[in-house]
Structure 1
Amino acid sequence: MSRAVARLLLPPVLRDVTRFTRPQFGEPNTEMFWSNVPPLRIFTWAKSASHTLLNPFTTERNMTTANKPQFQRNILSSVKTEKVTDLLQHNLTNLIDLALLLKQAHWNVFGSNFRSVHVHLDEIIATVRDASDEVAERIATLGMAADGRSRTVADATELGTYPDGFVDVASTVTHVADAMKSAIDGLRNAIDKLGDLDPISEDMLIGISAPLEKHLWMVQAQEE
């Protein structure tokens, strides 16, 4: 493989060596640099870059996330930070999934008393979305990255699967109540453990759980 062809396989950001080199004698010369790099080496860089962007001159990954606290002034000890954010992340996953499940129910409920259930579901969704945002920002406040990606939610949620297609009002109420109870159980489990670790996070989850429990009362009161 020729050197010119190998260079074409590189992402544009890697073709410009001036991004990575420091000139020793005047301005860096991109063409001079590439003329001294074996084609096989260029091809290896291109292959690596197809999976993740690498700096070919240091072989360090340009990471956008990390699993360690990112601040110099951590609020909690590293041990407490890990325990607290694990509990918060667990509940963030449930809350994100609950909001999605409730929206599915909102769109597809039908039958007698449709409108009141349809409207109430949107009210609950607003509460749950605000709660998930609060939990995610608390995780970030403690110096860790919140994970709300769809694959993470699908893999880690404790909520059951909601039926596809249209669902009658009675079944909707039952499925929604079950999902809300699962989310509330997760919140209460975390609340029980957070008291000695981080009372601020504990208080936040108490504040989140209270309106959800009230919504659960209103939902399951419609069951016959």
Structure 2
Amino acid sequence: MTLVSKDDELLIAHAAGMLSEPMRLLVETYAAINSDVAEAMADAEVTAAALFESAPGQALADDAVDIALAMVEAVEAGAGEAAGLNAAAPQNVARQTENAIGELLNLPDPVREKALEAGGQWRFAAPGVRRIELASEGSAKAELLRIEPGHGSPSHTHDGREFTLVLAGAFSDGHNRYGKGDLCAVGAETTHRPIAEPGEVCFALAVTDGSLKFTGALGAVQRLFGG
């Protein structure tokens, strides 16, 4: 999947502010690396704005202004702290893991900022696969994946949806090949095994709204321990 239309449910939900944080990150990163998606997202925002303006108005609470001002102050205070973190974190971490931070700095803005806010520390996910958790909300979770060539995820299905946006390199899952800028979107009906292609390290943004269900021997172990 490489293109979406202005009628795509994800873009409309994003424009309406109805997506979870992980899904917002997915849409905004997709738009950052795909001009067609960016254009479609702009169209969806225009449509959402028109619908909002045509909706009947609602009376504000007596303390609505005070609440709004308090929220603005809280956001500004948090932005100041985040700005300091973003400026300092790459320098501090680069002294210990210069190559890892260099890789992060080459990623699209939305993902890069989230990864640096998370400390830029990779964690083991599977042989040849490292991950950084970027955001979570309810059952939805967004992770940045670093997949060495020839490595990937064991064969699995899903409790819900899984979206994997390729940021660099490429992978194949037994059904299709996905290169930079491609979005792999699968549901509970799909069983696949994403494996990075030889050559370049594959970086991908993976967003799920349900847990993975492994097949084969690993699936038996998962079920044994209540996964």
The TM-score bracket by the shorter chain reads under 0.3
TM-score by length of 1: 0.20
Higher fraction of helix: 1
Higher fraction of strand: 2
